Amino acid sequence: MALAVDSPALTSRAAAEAYVGGVCFKLGPPELVGAELEWLTACPGDDLRRPSPQRLAGALGHHAPTSVAPESPAIPLPGGSAVTVEPGGQIELSSAPHASVRELCTAMSADSAELMSLLRSAAIAPVPGAADRERSADRILQHPRYAAMEQLFTRVGPFGKLMMCNTAAVQVSVDAGIDRAQARRRWQLLNAIGPALVAAFADSPRLCGAPGDEWASQRMRTWLELDRDRTRAPEGSPVPVADYAAWSLDVPLLCVVGSGSSWAAPEGASFADWIDGALDDELGREPTTKDLDYHLTTLFPPVRARGHLEVRYLDAQPGDGWRVPIAVVAALTSSEAVAEQALSIADGTVGQWRTAARRGLRDGELRGAAVQLLELAAAHAEDAGFAGEIGLAAARCRRRLSPSQERNR
C-alpha cells in the first residue's frame, strides 16, 4: 500500500471536493501552452507486429519510461518532452510548458525527430493514422493499471481495448485562468468548440475491430462508447471547479493501487463511496489524497482539468499537421474577445460530439462552425506562419476533406 504513505486521509466529501478544486484548477495568468503527441508503432517487415516492451526500452535508452524499463532514469528528450508508452505500444511525447506556440512547436519538432531516430535504430516505425486499420487490439504492457482498465472496459464492449491499444491523439493544454471566473469561461469555451474541432481534424475513418460503418473519427468514437460515466464530465458547467470536483468523486473507481495483484476496484463503487466508509471491509483503509490524485488520472473527459485544461478530443494528424490544432486552440483562447466570438460561432453545435465523430465535415452545421472557427483562429494566430497554416486548414474544411485526404490529393 505504498501509495498511502505520508498522505493525509480524506474523511469527508467536502474535504475531497476542496482538494480536487485546488489541484485540478490552478489559477494564475494564462500564459503557457503544452501538447502531447501520440504515434502507433510497429516492427516493419514482421507483419506489423507490435514492438515488445524490451525492444522499446532498448530503442529509447535512458529516455525510456519506467513502464517498459523499471530502472530507467526516464530523462526527457533535449527539447524537454517526456516519453511514455501506451498499452498497445503507442509512443507519446509530453511537452514541457512553453510561453508561445512557436517555442512549443520548435521544441516538439526537434524531440519528435530525435524520437523517430531512436525508433529507427531498433527497426521500429510509426504507423500513420489516429486509428489502427490493420491490427487487432493487443495490449503489450502488463501493468496492473492496464489490466484493471481492460477488465472494466471489456464489460461495456470492444471500444475500451480499442482505445487503449489502437488509437493516437493530439492533446493541447492551456492554463486554467487567472481566477475562477476566467477558468469558467475557458472551460466553457474549450467544451463548446470541441465538436466543431473534432469535425475539423477528424482523420480516422476506419479502425480494425470497430463494428459498423465508417465514422469520421473512429478514435473519438471509442471514447464516446467505452465508459460514459468516466468520459463525460459536466460540459460548459457554470461552476466548473465545484461541478468537476463533485463529478470526479462520483465516477466509479477504475482501480485501487495496491489492492491485490490486479488492483481491481469493487465493481460500481465510487471514490465518494470509499470516503463514506462503504468500502472499509473490502479495501481495509481510508482513502488518501494520493489515492484521489491517482483516481483523477483515470478520468477521461473531452476536456480534463489537471491544474491546466487539457483538450483531449483531437485525432493525431498526418506528418507535422499536429502543429495546426495546437495553434488553433492557442489562438481561440488568446483573449476574452476572441473567446466570445468563438463561443458565438460554436453555439449551434455545442454537445454534438457523436455527430462530429460520426459525420465530421459531412454535417453542414459542424462544417460551417469549423470553417468559421479556423478563420477566426487564423486572424488571431501567434504569427503569420501559423495564420497561413490555419487558413489552409479552413479551406480544406470548406472542401469537406480530412487532413489525410488533403495530404494525399
Per-residue pLDDT tens for 328-380?
999 999 999 999 999 999 999 999 999 999 999 999 999 999 999 999 999 99
Count of CB atoms situated within 10 Å of the CB of 399: 12
Write b or e for each residue in 25-59: b if 16 or more Cβ atoms lie within 10 A of its Cβ, otherwise e.
bebeebebbbbbbbbbbbbeeeeeebbebebbbbb
Q: Determine the pLDDT at residue 3.
A: 47
Phi-psi region of 196 (alpha: psi -120 to 50; beta: other; left: phi over 0): alpha
**pLDDT at residue 210 in the model:** 95
Res 260: pLDDT: 65
State how far the alpha carbon of 375 is from the alpha carbons of 8, 63, 392, 398, in Å: 49, 39, 9, 11
Largest separation between any pair of C-alpha atoms in the chain: 62
Bridge partners, residue 35, by sequence: 172
Question: Which of 83-87, 224-228, 287-291, 373-377 is predicted with the least confidence, judged by mean pLDDT?
Answer: 224-228
Among the ranges given (30-39, 70-79, 186-195, 235-244), the one the predictor scored with the smallest mean pLDDT? 235-244
H/E stretch holding 170 reads strand 169-174
Q: Stretch 265-271: mean pLDDT, rounded?
A: 93
Measure the CA–CA gap between 246 and 234, rounded to whole angstroms: 10
**pLDDT in the model for residue 5:** 52
pLDDT of res. 2: 42
38-48 pLDDT, tens per residue? Answer: 999 999 886 78
How large a percentage of the chain has pLDDT more than 90? 89
Specify the pLDDT at position 368. Answer: 98
Q: Phi and psi at residue 331, in whole multiples of 5°?
A: -65, -40
Does 4 have pLDDT greater than 70? no
How large is the average pLDDT for residues 289-296?
97
Structure confidence at residue 117 (pLDDT): 98
- Flag whether pLDDT at 388 surpasses 60: yes
Which residues are CB-contacts of 255 (< 8 A; sequence separation ≥ 6)? Answer: 144, 145, 148, 149, 263, 264, 265, 298
**pLDDT per position as a tens digit, 201-248:** 999 999 999 998 899 999 999 999 988 899 998 888 888 999 999 999
Q: If residue 41 lies in a helix (H) or strand (E), which one and from where to where?
A: strand 33-42
Read off the pLDDT of each residue in 166-175 and give the average, rounded to a whole number: 98
Report, as an integer, the average pLDDT of 28-45: 95
Query: How many other CB atoms sit within 10 Å of the CB of residue 374?
Result: 29
pLDDT at 1 (0 to 100): 35
Which residues, in sequence order, are bridge partners of residue 304?
Answer: 310
- Mean of the pLDDT values across residues 78-87? 98
Residues 6+ apart with CB under 8 A from 260: none
Spatial contact of 151 and 139, defined as CB atoms under 8 Å apart = no
Mean pLDDT rounded to a whole number for the chain: 95
H helices present in 73-209, as ranges: 101-121, 144-154, 159-166, 180-192, 194-201
How many other C-beta atoms are found inside a 10 Å radius of the C-beta of residue 96? 17
pLDDT at 217: 98
How close are the terminal C-alpha atoms of the chain, in Å?
55
Task: Give yes or no for a contact between 277 and 269, defined as CB atoms under 8 angstroms apart.
Answer: no
The alpha carbon dihedral of 349, 355, 359, 362 has a sign of negative
